[in-house]
Structure formats: structure tokens, C-alpha cells
Amino acid sequence: MKIKNIAIIAHVDHGKTTLVNQLLKYSGTFRENEKVDDLSMDSNPLEKERGITIVSKPTSIKYQDYKINILDTPGHADFGGEVERIMHMVDGCLLLVDAFEGTMPQTRFVLKKAIEANIKPIVVINKIDRANASPSKAVDEVLSLFIELGASDEMLDFKVAYTSALNGTSSLDPSPSSQVPGMDAIYNLIINEIPDPKVEENGPFQMQAALLDYNDYVGRMGIGRIQRGSVKVNDIVSCMRLDGSVKQFKVLKLFGFYGLKRIEINECSAGDICAIAGLTDLNVGETICDKSNLDQLPLLHIDEPTLQMTFGTNSSPFAGKEGKFLTSRQIDERLFKESQRDVSLKVEKIPNSENWIVSGRGELHLGILIENMRREGYELEVSRPKVIIKEIDGVKCEPYEDLIIEIPNDFVGDVMTSLGTRDAELLNMDTGDSTTKLSYIIPSRGLIGFISNFLTLTKGYGIIAHTFREYREANQGKIGERSIGVLVATEGGNSTPYALKHVEERGVMFVGPGTQIYEGMIVGENKYDADLAVNVCQTKNLTNQRSATKDQTIVLKTPRKMTLEDCLDYINSDELVEITPSNFRMRKKILNLAERKKYEAKIKSQENN
């Protein structure tokens, strides 16, 4: 059977996963009575909840006498490590673009990776049934982007298909009325336009692990395309390690992909994508080859992390009350395991402490890891994210990002004022009848804490997207720190309506009555720029005149709900977020009020000197 290998690349929420579902559905891969989940390729619970793809996943369909291997890739730049690696496994890509939104920051990011890997693109304009969609304008924007990114003349001569993935229709004509049920237009473009795998069918076996997977029975597996020859179960092969060493191992299992299933196979040949098991510490980028013909493939280039956080064992007074995994050893093992699976993640243990520096590609990247650990039963505490400063030619440099914002016209002034305080440089402003599109270059640290502020400023109507641009000389100014103070608890216990009624006059509360509190925990936001120590556990002294039902008449304002991302965005450098399976709480690093004041006075004295 002939093979075609393609990736589906696009900006977040342009319909990649939905399109893959339709390609699977109309190829006859599923039985008629088989129920297909709308997000069948997004298997991680977080992927389904957030509507994003986090991990690249291989699948395949059979169409006519072709086997088409498809990789559904993440669109968010934080998971760009996945996009880079799968480009080495495919010969072409479907670039999906929303007919209304056109090209967006992550469209540029993923297309740049495809052009660098020199793989053949097919452009798919999706959502052409959407109100105010402009397919021709979207195609023009794509062409401009190709030219801007230095695509070859051959790439500029791309073919275009038009779809409504949600409705399962496609055509080669931009008119919505020409849409017909099924995905034949795309299948035929793949077969006619995407080149066959550039591999050697004969010769000694060779493949490179571009993705990693894990199975409880066989352990770690390397997923990649076989570049040369073939491999069978029980073959003895060599792994050429990243450090230059060579290790032989026996192929215990081979897995192929069909539909949404990973199926066990006995043999796999050049051009096909498979998972190979047998080496427990296989790493991304390592070459697996014939034991008597050592031939290493070029190492995969992975962009470096730009953001880091400090993870630590939970040191709060509530430590150990809600989680299953609490110890330094358990957290260390979990972080090590994650760093082995995720090539974009770097973990470094801080000597003589129970803390780790965890570096990733952005707040979402690290936030997903924290949320997964929380759901698995871990307790930990994390610091405010900070950018990674690199020294380039003796100059300290920090990462900068392209930022694109689309907002209702009413909110333009507030958003531009906020970005002005974060050293953002306005590149372009495109004002429409009801919305304005703003393009900025901004230091990565200027984005820390901005997302939640942006949603508040735009009342949830704003669209924001950003992607890494380059490193520039670091600005020494303070950017992104929260300017407003917080309300910090001075006593432990349960919060009372009586105390909250008096404290809520000082600002906005994060906790309601009956919440367990400890000293040093952040319970609200102050009206002013200084922190304020408050007691939210105080009870009213009983007297003969007091009515037993008097407290029931107290009416409190609804406390502000803070998500995990809100908390990570909100805290300053002297604060932490305590994370458990049941709760996340913001707190000061130094819990005791007197000790905290001594430390702050010492820091202020050092700054003055």
C-alpha cells in the first residue's frame, strides 16, 4: 500500500482537530455503528476542557489504495516543540486558516516551521460558512505570509481547498454554495500534491525518535518515521544516544496507527510511522538503526524555553492534608518523567533544597503541567513565572514576542494604556466598524499577568494571541509586577461573616465565610498599592443582648473567583501559589507578619545603599 505522511498545522481554534475527525469519518475508518467523539483526537481531559491540542498525535486513514498518516499538532506556541519534531516525520502539511480571522500569530509560527523543514503545503480555508467570512482575503493573507517568510517559488504555487469542518463539507471553489458533503477534495489534493516519503526502501534499518509515548506494559516508546529499511519484533538494534554513546536493545513491541487506535504489528517498513518499544530511556532525537550499520541522523533542533518557575514541596501549615504525593522524592520523579516526555521542558534541582527550577515555553505550557500534577494528587508550591535571561555576545538579552489583539472599539484606550506600561511597541492598528486589531512587539515578561487583566479590561470580548519573536537586550526596568496591594491574613482558623463584613470594605475578597485560613495567606486585594494585614477569622464577643440569629443578617459581596492561571498571573515575586488536588491558595513566601516586615525593611535598606 502506498503511503502519504502529512501534518495538520494552524493557529489555535482554527479547526484542526475537527477537520481530522471529518477526515477519519469520511474515509470509512469508523464502522457505521461506531460513536465518534467530537474531539476524538484530544484524549487528554485538559485538551477536551480547554479545546486545545497539547500533544501531537499520529493517526492514519485508508483512502483508495493509500495509507495516509496524519499528525494533528498543537497550534499554541507554548507547545511548539511538538510542531518542530513532527516536521521531520512528514512530507507535506495542511495549513488550516479560518476564513474570517485569516492568518494569526500561531499561523506564522507553524508555517515558519514547515518552510524551514521544506515540506509541501496545501492550504485549507476552513469555516467558510461563518458569517462575514472572506475566503479570498484569507488566501491573499496566506500568500503574503508565505512571501514574508521566504518561501520558495514552488511553495508559493500552493493548492487551496475550502471546507466547513464542522458541517463535514469541502470543495475546491471558494463559494459556500459549492460545498459538498465529504472530504474528497482534500483526500485528492493529498494524493496528487503531497510527495511520497523521501526514504530508502532497501538497506539497513534507520529511524529517529521524534515523539515519545508511554505504555504501562512496555514502558517508553519512540515514535518516528522509518527512514530506511524495515524492522521486526525481536530484532536487535542499536540506539545512537545524544551524548555520542551507542546502546543495543531488543525490539520488544512495534505499534502502528489506524484510526484512533494504536495497533500491535510485527513489522514496519520505510516511509511508515510507528512506535518502537524496548529501550526504557530512549530520548527524542536519538537514532535507532541496524546494529552493524551505525548511521546517525541529524539532531533535531528545539527552540529553548523562555519562561521559568520555581517548584517546591508544600511548606504551608496545611501541607499533607489534601494530597497523596507530597515528598521531595515523589515530585522529583514526576518532574523527571515529564522532562523525559516533553523535550521543551527543562528541570533543574536547586542544590541543598526541596525546590526545582522548571523552564518551559510559556505560562500555558507550565500551567498545564501544574494542573496535570494537581489532578494526579500532588501537593506543591510554585513561584511567579519569570523570563529566562540569555547572554548573547556579552550582553544580557530577554525574549520578545509578537502580540496581536482584536478588541471591541470601546476598549481600545484602556488596553493601549495597559500595554504602554509594559513596554509594548505598537506596530500596526487596523480599526473596523466594531473592532480594532492591534499588533505589538512586547517583552515576554510584559505578558506575565497581562492575560487575566486583558480579559477584565475587555469584559471577556477580547481575542489575544502571542508568539516568540527574538531575543533583544534586556530592559532593566520593572515590568509586569502587580501594582496593587493585597490583604494578608494575620490569624489562622475559619473565616467568619463578622470579620469578612469589616474587611471587605478594604478591597475585594478572594475567600468567603467558612474558608480555612492560615497566617500569611492572601485573602483579598487591597484598594491601595500597599499590602494590608487583616484578620478574617475574628468572632464577635458574646453578650447578653446579642441575638442568636444576628449573624444571619450579614450580607457579603460575592468573593472573586480565581482560577489557577489567574493565581499564577496575579502573584508577585515575594508570593507563592500553594497547589493541592482540592485547592489552590495564594500566600506570602514569609508567612509570619513580624518576620516579613523585618525582611522587607532589610531589602529596602539594601536598595537605598
Tell whether the model's pLDDT for residue 54 goes beyond 60. Answer: no
Instruction: Give me 412's grid cell.
Output: 481600545
For domain 206-290, give its CATH number from 3.90.180.10, 3.20.20.150, 2.40.30.10, 3.20.20.140: 2.40.30.10
Q: Who contacts 134 (Cβ-Cβ below 8 Å, separation ≥6)?
A: 99, 100, 102
pTM metric for this prediction: 0.72
Phi (first) and psi of residue 499, to 5 degrees? -70, -40
The DSSP bridge pattern shows strands 236-240 and 230-232 to be unpaired
Instruction: Say which CATH topology domain 486-608 has.
Output: OB fold (Dihydrolipoamide Acetyltransferase, E2P) (2.40.50)
Bigger pLDDT: 565 vs 53: 565
Question: Looking at residue 360, what is its pLDDT?
Answer: 85
Q: H or E segment at 368?
A: helix 363-375
Q: Residue 570: count other Cβ atoms within 10 Å of its Cβ.
A: 21
For residue 163, the cross-strand partners are: 170
Question: Looking at residue 456, what is its pLDDT?
Answer: 73
271-305: pLDDT as tens digits: 999 999 988 888 888 899 998 888 888 887 666 78
Mean pLDDT of 261-268: 87
Question: Looking at residue 477, what is its pLDDT?
Answer: 64
- Domain boundaries for CATH 3.40.50.300 within the chain: 2-193
| d(C-alpha 25, C-alpha 21), whole Å | 6
Question: Looking at residue 570, what is its pLDDT?
Answer: 85
Tell whether the model's pLDDT for residue 580 goes beyond 90. Answer: yes
Question: Looking at residue 105, what is its pLDDT?
Answer: 65
9-40: pLDDT as tens digits: 886 666 777 888 888 888 765 544 444 444 33
Contact between residue 326 and residue 312 where contact means Cβ atoms under 8 Å apart: no
Question: Looking at residue 31, what is its pLDDT?
Answer: 47
Q: Is 237 helix (H, G, I), strand (E, B) or coil?
A: strand
Q: Is 187 helix (H, G, I), strand (E, B) or coil?
A: helix
| d(C-alpha 404, C-alpha 424), whole Å | 11
Bigger pLDDT: 568 vs 77: 568
Question: Looking at residue 13, what is its pLDDT?
Answer: 67
Tell whether the model's pLDDT for residue 327 goes beyond 70. Answer: yes
Range from 154-163, 241-250, 359-368, 510-519 carrying the lowest mean pLDDT: 359-368
Instruction: Give me 88's grid cell.
Output: 521531520
Tell whether the model's pLDDT for residue 263 goes beyond 90. Answer: no
| d(C-alpha 468, C-alpha 214), whole Å | 30
Tell whether the model's pLDDT for residue 246 goes beyond 80. Answer: yes
Mean pLDDT of 93-104: 86
Q: One-letter amino acid identity for 526?
A: N
| d(C-alpha 19, C-alpha 551), whole Å | 57
The secondary structure of 140-170 as a DSSP string is HHHHHHHHHTT--HHHHS-EEEEEETTTTEE
Range from 18-22, 51-55, 90-94, 254-258 carrying the lowest mean pLDDT: 51-55
Tell whether the model's pLDDT for residue 51 goes beyond 50. Answer: no
- Give the single-character DSSP code of 499: H
Q: Could you write out the three-class secondary structure of 242-269?
A: CCCCEEEEECCEEEEEEECEEEEECEEE
Question: Looking at residue 112, what is its pLDDT?
Answer: 82
Tell whether the model's pLDDT for residue 567 goes beyond 60. Answer: yes
Tell whether the model's pLDDT for residue 368 goes beyond 70. Answer: yes
- Domain boundaries for CATH 2.40.50.250 within the chain: 486-608
* Strand positions, DSSP E, 384-451: 386-387, 390-392, 395-408, 425-431, 435-443
Q: What is the mean pLDDT of the chain?
A: 83
The DSSP bridge pattern shows strands 355-360 and 395-408 to be unpaired
| d(C-alpha 226, C-alpha 196), whole Å | 13
Instruction: Say which CATH topology domain 2-193 has.
Output: Rossmann fold (3.40.50)
Question: pLDDT-derived band of residue 160, with 50, 70 and 90 as boundaries?
Answer: very high
Question: Looking at residue 34, what is its pLDDT?
Answer: 47
Instruction: Give me 209's grid cell.
Output: 525518535
Share of the chain above pLDDT 70, in %: 88
Instruction: Kindly indicate whether the domain formed by 390-473 is annotated with CATH number 3.40.50.620.
Output: no
445-489: pLDDT as tens digits: 888 877 767 877 887 777 777 777 888 888 766 666 677 899 999
